[in-house]
Amino acid sequence: MRHIGILSLVALLFFACSDEEEMVPTGQEVRVTTGQEEMVQNEALESAEYLVTFTINWNSVDFPTSYPSTAHFSRLIGWSHSADESFFKIGTLASDGIKNMAETGGTSPLDDELMQLIEEGNGYKQYVGSGLGSGTGEIEINVEVTEQYPSITLVTMVAPSPDWYIAVVDINLMENNSFIDQKTVDAHVYDAGTDSGSTYSSSNSVTDPQKPITLFVDTPLGDGSELNASIASVTFKKM
């Protein structure tokens, strides 16, 4: 009877342990994953890094009308975000940050606005790069995207100008559920809709009421229908 009692006690202890965790051989590391940790693991996303090269060709031959002797471009700023994000899109009103970038080349408060969007779950990372001291040349910047945030938007002011900037907006680097190796697109010129000046050297003229962001194709860069030539191409190369 005593042996039966001992065996019963052992059996009870064994099944009690089995209810809490799986038995493993002594010496093996055991990691207990909570439900919250499993959720975080399931949300882990594949990512990819890209070298982005802006090849800018704002020159006096293709764009001869009033070509400024001080032609240059402000520091690049942008972010990685979900596909079809509306920030910067044509037809939307420019934020205070977009307005300041387009009119002065400043990266603030646009950097704060992008960080706010990222903290709210609408983006992944913000990027601030270098500018260009002339109308022609290259600007390079490294960016990172994920499966959830596969798109890139990068902007730089056309300087001097009232409120014009060149940009690549919502460039999706995923195709057929995988990250592309390389893509080259044309950058477009945009009008922020915040300043009504019509020439590079126009004095400040606040647009009231503010107008939506539009493509800019008018003089001195275009003929009203399209630009005189491609002002910049942008290549995304997977690293």
| Per-residue pLDDT tens digits for 39-97 | 343 344 699 999 999 999 999 999 999 999 999 999 999 999 999 899 999 999 999 99
Q: Tokens for 21?
A: 């965790």
In a domain, 211, yes or no: yes
In a domain, 27, yes or no: no
In a domain, 13, yes or no: no
In a domain, 206, yes or no: yes
Q: Tokens for 143?
A: 């960016």
In a domain, 11, yes or no: no
| Per-residue pLDDT tens digits for 152-163 | 999 999 999 999
SS3 sequence, the chain?
A: CHHHHHHHHHHHHHHHHHHHCCCCCCCCCCCCCCHHHHHHHHHCCCEEEEEEEEEEECCCCCCCCCCCCCCEECCCEEEEECCCCCCCCCCCECCHHHHHHHHHCCCCCHHHHHHHHHHCCCEEEEEECCCECCCEEEEEEEEEEECCCCEEEEEEEEECCCCEEEEEEEEECEECCEECCEEEEECEEEECCCECCCCCCCCCCECCCCCECEECCCCCCECCCCECCCCEEEEEEEC
Q: How far apart (Å, rounded) are the C-alpha atoms in residues 69 and 71?
A: 6
The domain that contains 91 carries what CATH number? Answer: 2.60.40.2130
In a domain, 174, yes or no: yes
| Per-residue pLDDT tens digits for 5-39 | 544 444 444 444 433 333 323 333 323 322 334 33
Q: What is the greatest pairwise CA distance in the chain?
A: 108
| Per-residue pLDDT tens digits for 109-118 | 999 999 999 9
Q: Tokens for 51?
A: 């070298």
The parent domain of residue 137 ranges over 49-238
Structurally, the chain folds into a number of domains equal to 1
In a domain, 28, yes or no: no
Residue 2 CB partners (closer than 8 Å, separation 6+): none
In a domain, 65, yes or no: yes
